[in-house]
A = this chain, B = another copy of it.
Amino acid sequence: MRHSSWISCCSDLRNMSKAPDSILRRLKVRRQKQRTILAMRWRCAKGGKEFKELDTFYRAIRPYLCVAQLFGIMPLSNVLSRDPQDVKFRLRSVGMCFTGLFLLLGGIKTVMQANILFRTGLNAKNMMNLVFLIVGIVNWLNFTGFARSWSKLILPWSSLDILMQFAPYAPSKHSLRSKLRLIGCVVGSLAVVDHLLYYASGYYSYHMHIFHCHTNHSRLSFGSYLEKEFSETFELLPYNMFSVCYGFWLNAAFTFLWNFMDIFIVLTSISLAQRFRQFADRVLALQGRQVPDTLWYDIRRDHIRLCELASLVDESMSNIVLMSCANNVYVICNQALAIFTKLRHPINYVYFWYSLLFLLARTSLVFMSASKIHDASLLPLRTLYLVPSTHWTEEVQRFVSQLTSEFVGLSGYRLFYLTRKSLFGMMATLVTYELMLLQMDAKSHKAGLPDLCA
């Protein structure tokens, strides 16, 4: 039983938020110094429940962090530990070695690709591949930066999680863990199918091309296809089993990273929204009762803590959110453009539409789940409207004004917020853009497919 470690963890809270703004830091520290330590110790001791079995965000997200380690994303040491305070960012750790390795190999791949492109001439079409690689590299760096601030984030979050496991907060129907597992599995499987279709579509095109245009049918094998697919790898490495695996692995890493970025935002949003909903449930339970002002003050404090956690998450993840949205929009724009391009084989159509729809769905999922944080944060409002005038005090009024005045949710450096409205704006712009291009397309002469062997 390492309850004592939790107490020291709570005292760590004092140092946790080295946010740029001195005011915000001092504010947080002072408040948390007072309450958290005492409350936590008392609760855990009394509840007698092992906190490792509690339905915390850390417990739910841990499997994803473990998998991410394999691809050098979010290098944290002791990620297998069930105790969030063991998990820290260390510059000299196995995770960092992995990350360094990926950055090195990914960097080489990127430089070589860039080299090829600049030789043949950069244009809007072939740029997409390069952007994909560069975004990947930037994301590895972003996640490494996020890993550095991970312990500053997970400790207050865990303490809030523990707080909300006990009365007066009611547990939610479905545990956070099962929710996150479900969503992660579904999106993950769809991503794997997407990745496999990529190879299938590529190989089939290659196969048909060789079959019809070359007499040398010895090059029909899957191996020859890979030789072409990973051509920039084979400029440095000889062709053998190992280097083929290496090619697959590096490709998979970039694809995984891209999907992980979105999934991670979704999972975090769902977890935050859940806490806000639990909070609203607690407020609802008070309906019809005579609530003393001190209790309202306590509730309001909890609300401020939740809001501060949300703003801490927003601050830490801003660059990841910005990168995710920018990249998704860019790829959608590029894909959407090709809707009316004639493709040669049915498998090409399948891959094209599958990946486009999957991307649209994933992007919408990111926006919709993040917008749920804000929606959930406004839920207590309806209960408060029904407080009768005899119980209506200054505290309740302040609570109402607090609820309505601030925006709670994720954003990309506060340049834009992940809301339904933003999603609609994005979609509307996309559609306008698409319509414009279609009309331009309709005007130009429509050539058929170019000769297969040209």
Contacts and interface: CB of A to CB of B under 8 A. Distances in A.
A447 to B, nearest CB: 11
Interface in A427-451: 427-429, 432-433, 435-444, 446
B400 A401 contact: yes
A238 interface: no
B435 A27 contact: no
A93 to B, nearest CB: 33
A382 B420 contact: no
A424 interface: yes
B440 A443 contact: yes
Contacts of A23: 277, 280-281, 284, 379
Given A415-B421, A439-B124, A398 B392 contact: yes
Contacts of A443: 440, 444
A435 B436 contact: no
Contacts of A414: 420
Most buried by B among A400, A404, A439: A439
Nearest to A395: B389
State how many copies of this chain the complex holds: 4
A347 interface: no
A222 interface: no
Contact of A435 (B26, B340, B433): B433
A389 B394 contact: yes
Nearest to A415: B424
B398 A385 contact: yes
A239 interface: no
Which size class do A's interface residues fall under?
35 or more
A428 to B, nearest CB: 7
A289 interface: no
B440 A27 contact: no
Given A284-B26, A379-B23, A124 B340 contact: yes
A121 interface: yes
A79 interface: no
B297 A388 contact: yes
Interface string A372-403: 00000001011101101100111100101110
Given A124-B340, A280-B23, A444-B443, A389 B393 contact: yes
Contacts of A342: 121
A340 B439 CA distance: 14
Most buried by B among A125, A392, A424, A442: A424
A153 to B, nearest CB: 19
A433 B439 CA distance: 10
Interface in A107-129: 121-125
Contacts of A189: none
A208 interface: no
Interface in A271-290: 277, 280-281, 284, 287-288
Nearest to A413: B420
A442 B123 contact: yes
Contacts of A440: 439-440, 443
A135 interface: no
A321 to B, nearest CB: 13
Contact of A432 (B405, B429, B438): B429
A24 interface: yes
A210 interface: no
Contacts of A31: 386
Contacts of A386: 27, 31, 301, 304
A363 to B, nearest CB: 13
Contacts of A388: 297
Contacts of A420: 413-415
A436 B441 CA distance: 12
- What are the 6 closest A-B residue pairs judged by CB atoms, nearest first? A415-B424, A124-B438, A124-B442, A415-B420, A389-B395, A414-B420
Given A124-B439, A300-B385, A389-B394, 18 more contacts: A22-B173, A24-B379, A27-B383, A30-B287, A123-B446, A297-B388, A297-B389, A301-B386, A337-B439, A385-B398, A389-B395, A415-B421, A429-B432, A432-B433, A433-B435, A433-B436, A436-B436, A437-B439
13 contacts: A22-B173, A22-B281, A27-B287, A124-B439, A293-B389, A337-B439, A400-B401, A414-B420, A415-B420, A428-B429, A433-B436, A437-B439, A440-B443
